[in-house]
Structure 1
């Protein structure tokens, strides 16, 4: 059933802010508004075939990601100013400025080394606060595949000495819960520094 203009306006009001944040953190403040407009233009053009309401948020993130990939193919990424992720998971203690910069560099280096799908799965769950299932849908993965991939990624990050203070190893109880569940909003234990440098994800 096609969306009415009123329903589309509601969809825009509910999700445009978080989609803009997602795009800004990956494309910068100059290009993000145009990518946001393209995302919702695509949604409007495909309003007759949009998924069920519960899956539209993931669909929007997936569409925004596809537009980002095309944008980066045509415009190689460059260092740009990015705002902090919305509602980041904070460390237990606020770092001083020097420690904060070290943490930022460590997170930046680790993200740059990840495969694009792994980086997106990690940041979609940790920063954009998507459930593992929704992040998987946005990336074209099944819920089970996304959970397994994120579980292995968490294990890898937990062993990285650069992230020793940011990524506590998952306990056996957490492992069992993660494997048995459909994935909650916490998604990953990666905890970004309290404040982010403007170039944290500029390598994407």
Structure 2
């Protein structure tokens, strides 16, 4: 017996099972959740059935004969029920995250100021420098911790942070010191 034969048998068993349970599971899920999520949950349930094909009660080894729906469906309904519960928990987590983001957005002062200059200064940095600054400013990490998070040495993280802060400061000072529409040295001779 080759290594491929057990896989072919497993695939054949799954196909026989899927042929019997796919439509009843689809109807089961359709009665319990919205139509736009049924296919995703059914796909997840079928994946679980594939992974646990040896655990399905009533699914014999006899090649070619379909399993008796009365033997396999109750267990498969249990799998679909578990996948549905997982999907509902995931939806709940997403909803709570959206609500939390909305609350944070509402708590920001209405006239909180325009931060477009700061965002532009951040955007002018390289990706790694931008991440170093964000880890320092937003997450409150020290250079040693930033090094651990980014894979840099502690010294390299400190240097990058120092240089990035200087670039941001220069960008912000430059924006606020120059009169709009004028560049430094504009109209001056080189004398």
Range class of TM-score, shorter chain: 0.3 to 0.5
Question: More helix per residue: 1 or 2?
Answer: 2
Which of 1 and 2 has higher RCO (CA within 8 Å, sep 6+)? 1
Larger Rg: 2
TM-score, normalised to structure 1, is 0.34
